Amino acid sequence: MTTVDTPRGFAPAAAATRAGRVAWWSIGLALLVVALGVLVLREALVVAGTVQGEPWLAPAVDSVDGVTPSPLVVVIGVVLALLGLWLVVVALGRRVRTRLDVTSSTGTTIGIADAARLAASAADEVDRVLSARATATRRSVTVTVTTLEGDDVSEAVRAAVTERLAPLAQPLPVKVVGRVTAGLHAGGGRR
């Protein structure tokens, strides 16, 4: 029988991040730059004599040749320079981490929305909780529970959610928000 040596542990994967912020106008700007590149390529081919036709850029540049410095030109130049600088900062800026590390030797992670689902399901399983929903960030979990009047389940919900999220490498603080609804308790009587 042949035996195969397996590695003792895997190197953890790189931290999962969401792509940088891309707005609709950045896609339009990218298309504009591509169109400008095609135009410059066409100009180069016309000047080289590879493509028949008249140059388009030379007449356009000649028509702007008489522009002299004025306050309007300076303002437009400053605005465009600041816009370009801002685009560079956004493009090179820090990416948002979208996953939470799980205590594991394999680099397992869980999504933030999945942590919220786990918290909501744990809270929903607590006695006297009518409904539960949760939101999560990389720093905390907020669970909103609906109960009947007089039922205090905050500590039980906090304990259940904390236990359910225990496999996370960094424990998240749990905030419980209670909503009370009027209604009858089991047995039909009020307490």
Distance CA 188, CA 161 (A): 30
Average pLDDT, the chain: 81
CATH number, domain 99-181: 3.30.70.1350
For residue range 18-42, what is the model confidence (pLDDT) as tens digits?
A: 666 666 677 777 788 888 888 888 8
Reduced to 3 states (helix: H, G, I; strand: E, B; else coil), residue 96 is coil
pTM metric for this prediction: 0.57
Residue 186: band (very low, low, confident or very high) from pLDDT cuts 50, 70, 90: low
Q: DSSP letter string over 147-189?
A: EETT---HHHHHHHHHHHTTTBSSPPPEEEEEEEE--PPTTS-
Mean pLDDT value across residues 171-184: 88
Taking 80 as the threshold, does the pLDDT of residue 3 lie above it?
no
CATH 3.30.70.1350 residue spans of the chain: 99-181
Residue 50: band (very low, low, confident or very high) from pLDDT cuts 50, 70, 90: confident
Per-residue pLDDT at 185? 57
Distance CA 178, CA 157 (A): 10
For 129, counting Cβ atoms within 10 Å of its Cβ (0-12 exposed, 13-18 middle, 19+ buried), the class is: buried
